[in-house]
Amino acid sequence: MKYDLENINARFGIGSQKWQEMKNNPLVDEKVIPFSVADMEFKLAPEITEGLKKFIDDNILGYAGTNKKYRENVCKWQQKHHDFTVDEKWLVETHSVVNAFFTAVKAFTQKGDGVMLFTPVYYPMYKAIEINQRKLVEIPLINNGMTYDIDWDLFTKKAKAIDTKMLILCSPHNPCGRIWTREELTKISEICLANDILVVADEIHADLIMPGFKHVSYGTISKEALEHSIICTAPSKTFNLAGMQLSNVFIANENYRNLFKAEQATDADFACSILSYEACRLAYEYGEEWLTEVINIIDTNKKTIMDFMQEYFPQVKITQLQATYLLWLDFRAFNLTNEELEMRNRQKACLYFDEGYIFGKAGSGFERWNLACPTKYIYWALERLYQAYKEFAVK
Ligand SMILES: Cc1ncc(COP(=O)(O)O)c(C=O)c1O
């Protein structure tokens, strides 16, 4: 291994809410890390840290927009990793992907309009709809045991409703770890195009793909699909740069792009920072090798948990992880309430997951386990899990 992905920096005292949450539990020791909010415990790629240091040595941190090298690298990354040929002029930067889909909801829908979500799903998507007084149109995903599928009949029916105007598509899907296939995305696009529904594709997890799988960018489905979509990408999940707060949104349709920018301009300040651009440029230009090592560890962590559960707690069902570093575990067989599950995890096992119910009703009884950490923390966590749930163990 070229990179130090075995050691972490504890994040107490630097404003990391997920670390701070554990502070009051006297059982928390140096073997305990949080497995909640989706950032990584891995140290940054040295290509990024060293590059940023040099940048600060050589520059002042004034106001700045993007530069040519930045734009080229952002576009090249999409081409090389997702076969998505983008034009630089489609690119619009936002503070974050959440900011991008909030802006899209405001720019392209009116109060009372329906916005579809495949649920359970990343919780701020509900908020973007509700806080802007749009109507949530839920299309619950069908849990087929191993993974989740789209309920096509329901989707088609809801898409046809006169007031349904938008689909926010989480692709790959968080928390279900699902990659939507080309066939599925084509079907989604056909339904949306037939009903004049704009697709906002949140592809923030697109680079975190497990071995054997491939992400399909919504921008590669068809010219028509591309022209009727907003595609949100970012280096933040891929390279652990969430604190840099930057997203690259591709809007091929000039009219939509102008409307999106006009909505952005209603905010007092929507510019991104000079350091976020540089971090992103460094990541896309030099970060690939680091990412490959990180994905291998995530895959190892996933297998470690799956083997352990299969041996000791086979009644806990684990959704196939095709993408993301967020494992979705179904603890409903233990017959515990959400509160009991959360209390037992936190107080007895020092396990700080994201509770499934925050992703919607269908997440009740589930836990989302962030795997982006050195493998030793997974082993230690499994030992604690065993002790806390011993009465359910099959051996
Ligand atoms: C699907 C999805 N979109 C967006 C975000 C947040 O992205 P950002 O920090 O750029 O708003 C996350 C973070 O977990 C996510 O899972």
User: Which tokens belong to 86?
Assistant: 């983008």
User: Strand ranges (DSSP E) for the chain?
Assistant: 91-94, 114-119, 135-140, 142-143, 148-149, 164-170, 198-202, 229-233, 247-250, 317-318, 326-330, 354-355, 366-370
For residue 271, pLDDT over 90 is answered with: no
Per-chain mean pLDDT for the chain: 97
Residue 165 has phi, psi (to 5 degrees) of: -125, -15
- Tell whether ligand 1 has an atom less than 6 A from the beta carbon of residue 201: no
Query: Residue 213: what pLDDT?
Result: 98
Query: Residue 270: what pLDDT?
Result: 82
What's the CA-to-centroid distance between 177 and ligand 1, angstroms?
Answer: 14
The residue to mutate among 237, 358, 369, 370, having the most atoms of ligand 1 within 8 angstroms of its beta carbon, is: 237
* Mean pLDDT of the region 96-102: 97
CATH entry, 49-286, from 3.40.640.10, 3.65.10.10, 1.10.260.40, 3.40.710.10: 3.40.640.10
Q: Which of 173, 174, 185 is nearest to 217 (CA)?
A: 185
- Tell whether ligand 1 has an atom less than 6 A from the beta carbon of residue 233: no
For residue 72, pLDDT over 90 is answered with: yes
User: Which tokens belong to 39?
Assistant: 């950032």
**Does the domain spanning 17-45+288-392 belong to CATH 1.10.645.10?**
no
- Tell whether ligand 1 has an atom less than 6 A from the beta carbon of residue 176: no
Query: Residue 291: what pLDDT?
Result: 98
> For residues 308 and 318, is the Cβ–Cβ distance under 8 A?
no
At 33-61, the pLDDT tens digits run 999 999 999 999 999 999 999 999 999 99
Q: Which amino acid is at 193?
A: L
User: Which tokens belong to 160?
Assistant: 């046809």
For residue 324, pLDDT over 90 is answered with: yes
At 152-182, the pLDDT tens digits run 999 999 999 999 999 999 999 999 999 999 9
User: Which tokens belong to 96?
Assistant: 């974050």
At 328-352, the pLDDT tens digits run 999 999 999 999 999 999 999 999 9
- Tell whether ligand 1 has an atom less than 6 A from the beta carbon of residue 36: no
What's the CA-to-centroid distance between 142 and ligand 1, angstroms?
Answer: 23
Domain ranges of the chain: 17-45+288-392, 49-286
Q: Which amino acid is at 143?
A: N
Q: Which of 149, 172, 159 is nearest to 228 (CA)?
A: 159
What's the CA-to-centroid distance between 310 and ligand 1, angstroms?
Answer: 30
Residue 190 belongs to what H/E stretch?
Answer: helix 182-194
- Beta-strand relationship, 198-202 and 366-370: unpaired
Say how far apart CA 209 and CA 15 lie, in whole Å: 29
User: Strand ranges (DSSP E) for 68-126?
Assistant: 91-94, 114-119
* Mean pLDDT of the region 19-45: 96
Query: Residue 28: what pLDDT?
Result: 95
For residue 142, pLDDT over 90 is answered with: yes
For residue 128, pLDDT over 90 is answered with: yes
The residue to mutate among 37, 39, 95, 97, having the most atoms of ligand 1 within 8 angstroms of its beta carbon, is: 97
Q: Give 395: exposed, middle or buried? Use CB within 10 Å, 0-12, 13-18, 19+.
A: exposed
The residue to mutate among 94, 125, 204, having the most atoms of ligand 1 within 8 angstroms of its beta carbon, is: 204
Q: Which of 158, 250, 165 is nearest to 202 (CA)?
A: 250
Taking the CA atoms of 98, 99, 105 and 110 in sequence, report the sign of the dihedral they define: positive
Query: Residue 269: what pLDDT?
Result: 81
User: Which tokens belong to 50?
Assistant: 């060293």
